[in-house]
Amino acid sequence: MSSSEKKLDPRIGLDVGTSRIVMARRVDNEIEYRSQLNAFVRIPASPLTASVLRKEGIPHTIDGSDVVIYGDQAEKFANIFHVETRRPMQNGALNPSEPDGPAVIREIISLLIGDQKARPGEKMCVSMPGSPLGSSDDLTFHESVVRQIVTDFGYEVSTINEGLAVVYSDLAESNYTGIGVSCGGGMCNVCFAYLSVPVVSFSISQAGDFVDTNTATATGEVATRIRMFKEKDFSFNGASGDKIQRALTIYYDEVIRHLVTAMNCAFSDNRALPKLDRPVPVVLSGGSSIPRGFRERFEKALRQSAFPVPVSDVLLAADPLHSTAKGALVSLLAD
């Protein structure tokens, strides 16, 4: 069947993450995902460079005498030209020291949705981080810029808290009651929902990037190389005691400690919590939940703490890199 004969549902769930932007939509009753790295490189270019990139189908824009290459291809070009990729976002929100950020995010979203431009009334739901626990950082600017980008594509925009999206994606069986945790690149987001209604949500700004940069400093490596090793070879049960593996474990444990402490702190005010008649599940998601042993390590730390909410199971999401986008889509499909 050609793609034009497929039944494409116009509703879109979008996860705008520090590390990746992920789109979810329904095609023939199955959910299709597309994702791109939320990164770019800027290199000096001649008119020849631009025409070569066009011929090769490499996503780029021309800006004065530079070419800006974005998405997954940014990493490849960063390696070839020995530069670090640049990131439109940092710690879960727009990176204030990257003025090119919003324009790059717009190009990446355009690449993901392809020819599917909105008709009037069509809906897109975008994930938003929760407020950082115990900090006055304000996410209003980030949210309004991202909303504007999506509105400019013609969509009617709604937003969903990232932790709540994980509940919508993975906790249908418990009637959307439980705690969704998304461990990404820039942040961990947590949301406790009761019968699909968010009760408590927050974020912390220690996650995968924190592990990479601290491991890089401790071992004298560059962060990109650490990340590549981590994504390919790292597990908590790794027998090899090599220096990078040890440093990764130390900083990962630090993230888990921050996360469990923050969860205890945020849930300690019992007045905010509904009276539960049974324990609730916790579901872990996001790229940083993937390494083997992470779920067990987190569960042990949570159970050893005096966590005030009774927990049944600690689960790993069915598809950790796609849960947030799926949850955003699920919130639209319920309409």
Ligand X SMILES: Nc1ncnc2c1ncn2[C@@H]1O[C@H](COP(=O)(O)OP(=O)(O)O)[C@@H](O)[C@H]1O
**Where do contacts with ligand X occur on this chain (CB under 6 A)?**
17-20, 184-186, 208-209, 227, 230-231, 286-288, 290-291, 321
Q: Give me the residue whose beta carbon is nearest to ligand X.
A: 208
- Residue closer to ligand X by CB (options 106, 230) is 230
- Residue closer to ligand X by CB (options 25, 230) is 230
CB–CB of 317/284 below 8 Å? yes
CB of 290 to ligand X, least distance (A): 4
Token pair 């497929």 is found at 6
Rounded to an integer, what is the distance from CA 122 to the centroid of its chain? 24
Rounded to an integer, what is the distance from CA 296 to the centroid of its chain? 21
Measured distance CA(161)–CA(74) in Å, rounded: 28
- Residue closer to Mg ion by CB (options 127, 245) is 127
- Residue closer to Mg ion by CB (options 178, 320) is 320
Residue 242 burial (CB count, 10 A): 12
- Residue closer to ligand X by CB (options 122, 233) is 233
CB of 1 to ligand X, least distance (A): 31
Binding of Mg ion by 13 (CB under 5 A):
no
107 binds, among Mg ion, ligand X, none (CB under 5 to 8 A by kind): none
CB of 77 to ligand X, least distance (A): 19
CB of 333 to ligand X, least distance (A): 21
Binding of Mg ion by 17 (CB under 5 A):
yes
- Residue closer to ligand X by CB (options 35, 177) is 35
CB of 64 to ligand X, least distance (A): 29
Max CA-CA distance within the chain? 67
Q: What would the DSSP string read from start to end of 29-64?
A: TEEEEEEEES-EEEEE--HHHHHHHHHHT--EEEET
Binding of Mg ion by 130 (CB under 5 A):
no
Q: What would the DSSP string read from start to end of 78-92?
A: HHHTT-PPB-SEETT
The tokens for 100 are: 């090119």
Give the contact letters, 167-196, x = binds to Mg ion (CB under 5 A), - = no. -----------------x------------
The tokens for 304 are: 């050893």
221 by Cβ neighbours in 10 Å (0-12 / 13-18 / 19+) ranks as middle
Footprint of Mg ion (CB under 5 A): 15, 17, 184, 324
